[in-house]
Amino acid sequence: MDKVLAGYGLKEVQCSLKPFGSGLINHTWVLCNGAEQFIVQKVNRNVFREPEAIAWNLAFIDAYLEKQDEGYFFVSPVKTASGETMLHIEGDGYYRMFPFVKGSHSIDVVEDPQQAYEAAKQFGMFTRKLSGIDVDALKITLPSFHDLSLRYEQFLEALGSGNPLRLAAATSLIEALKGHSYIVDRFREIQRNPEFKQRVTHHDTKISNVLFDAHNKGLCVIDLDTVMPGYFISDVGDMMRTYLCPVSEEEKDFSKIVVREDYYNAIVKGYLEEMQDELTQAEKAHFFYSGLFMIYMQALRFLTDHLNDDRYYGARYEGHNFVRAQNQLTLLERLLEKREVLEK
């Protein structure tokens, strides 16, 4: 960390660092330098092969928003001592630093539909404010990240090449997931449908990626590594995946997995308040689908990783990703049960 601090022109003796947050991919710390606070992140190079692409996108978006001058609140990275938006330490990796937004707080669990509404509004606003940008100019920071067809193929591949013991123990979960492959077929239709637009998409809309003010109003969105062109179903779907249920993907007691209708309505309301003039009719008809899409994809990704010996997500206990996959399948089933009432 001495090199990181030096790269930002900070003196080690004045600073303290503490691990921060619960992300699975990057390492995050909160840095105190006297009264000033910052967020420091080390980019996971196994996942983000081209960290410069992240820095490039942030600078591109920042420049665009500045020109619009709409007072949209966007947290741009702190520049390094040599004026870069990212710090490369040879032989170690890439680091970024952000100012800690004063008076802001984040939450880890959605406990009130109003929070879901505020978050959905923030993610909708983010895409809307950037609707005039040249979306094709954005760099792809994670190729095929939310390509459900590819995720399904990777799952099928793992059925051939995965850990044989784990495969044998997972047959009923594998069969259950195969039984929902119509969700992939629908995605292929979406990819062919010109009414589905590529927009500036956040791709990680969990609640902890929204900052709230002291009155619990949404302030801004953070964690912009996966901002790239995408479909709105990624953002709305991941909100459904992570806000509809009172427990997270980590929960082992599946009887606690339920879908809360008022949270669903709050997501739709908040998102549409910002995006209703942007979305096409075909897109608007896919709100419910977006939840199926993201939950199914996450179930596939967790199970695929389990079969591949946890090489992507890691595991804190034996079978961790298997439990996560079962959890997500349960959530998918609970959501499907409410199809009729929610689609209404």
**Residues of this chain that bind ligand GN1 (CB under 6 A):** 23-25, 47, 142, 204, 226, 249, 298
Tell me which of 210, 212, 223, 224 binds Mg ion, using CB under 5 A.
Answer: 223
Closest CA to 201 of 232, 242, 241, 245: 232
Q: Helix or strand or coil: residue 202?
A: coil
Q: How far is the CB of 285 from ligand GN1 (least distance, A)?
A: 24
Strands 27-33 and 93-99: unpaired
Closest CA to 239 of 279, 214, 206: 206
Residues 271/123, Cβ–Cβ less than 8 Å: yes
Q: Which residue is nearest to Mg ion (CB)?
A: 204
Q: How far is the CB of 28 from ligand GN1 (least distance, A)?
A: 9
Q: Which is nearer to ligand GN1, 222 or 268 (CB)?
A: 222
Helix axes 171-178, 287-307, angle to 10 degrees: 150
Q: Is 235 in the site for Mg ion (CB under 5 A)?
A: no
Q: Which does 24 bind (CB under 5 to 8 A by kind): Mg ion, ligand GN1, none?
A: ligand GN1
Q: How far is the CB of 106 from Mg ion (least distance, A)?
A: 12
Per-residue contact flags (x/-) with Mg ion for residues 175 to 214, judged by CB under 5 A? -----------------------------x----------
Q: Which does 47 bind (CB under 5 to 8 A by kind): ligand GN1, Mg ion, none?
A: ligand GN1
Closest CA to 95 of 106, 109, 108, 81: 81
Q: How far is 2 from 18, CA to CA, in rounded Å?
A: 14
Q: How far is the CB of 250 from ligand GN1 (least distance, A)?
A: 9
Binding window for Mg ion (CB under 5 A); candidates: 131-139, 176-184, 194-202, 216-224: 216-224
Q: Is 223 left (phi over 0), alpha (psi -120 to 50) or beta?
A: left
Q: How far is the CB of 89 from ligand GN1 (least distance, A)?
A: 21
Q: Which does 167 bind (CB under 5 to 8 A by kind): Mg ion, ligand GN1, none?
A: none
Helix axes 148-161, 182-192, angle to 10 degrees: 140
User: Where would I find the beta strands (DSSP E) of 59-178?
Assistant: 87-89, 93-99
Q: Is 118 in the site for Mg ion (CB under 5 A)?
A: no
Residues 20/39, Cβ–Cβ less than 8 Å: yes
Q: Is 249 in the site for Mg ion (CB under 5 A)?
A: no
Q: Helix or strand or coil: residue 102?
A: coil
Residues 21/98, Cβ–Cβ less than 8 Å: no
Q: How far is the CB of 289 from Mg ion (least distance, A)?
A: 23
Q: Which residue is nearest to ligand GN1 (CB)?
A: 25
Q: Which is nearer to Mg ion, 204 or 283 (CB)?
A: 204
| CA gyration radius, the chain | 20
Q: How far is the CB of 254 from ligand GN1 (least distance, A)?
A: 17
Q: Which is nearer to Mg ion, 53 or 156 (CB)?
A: 53
- The residue to which tokens 């090489």 are assigned: 311
Binding site for Mg ion (CB under 5 A): 204, 223
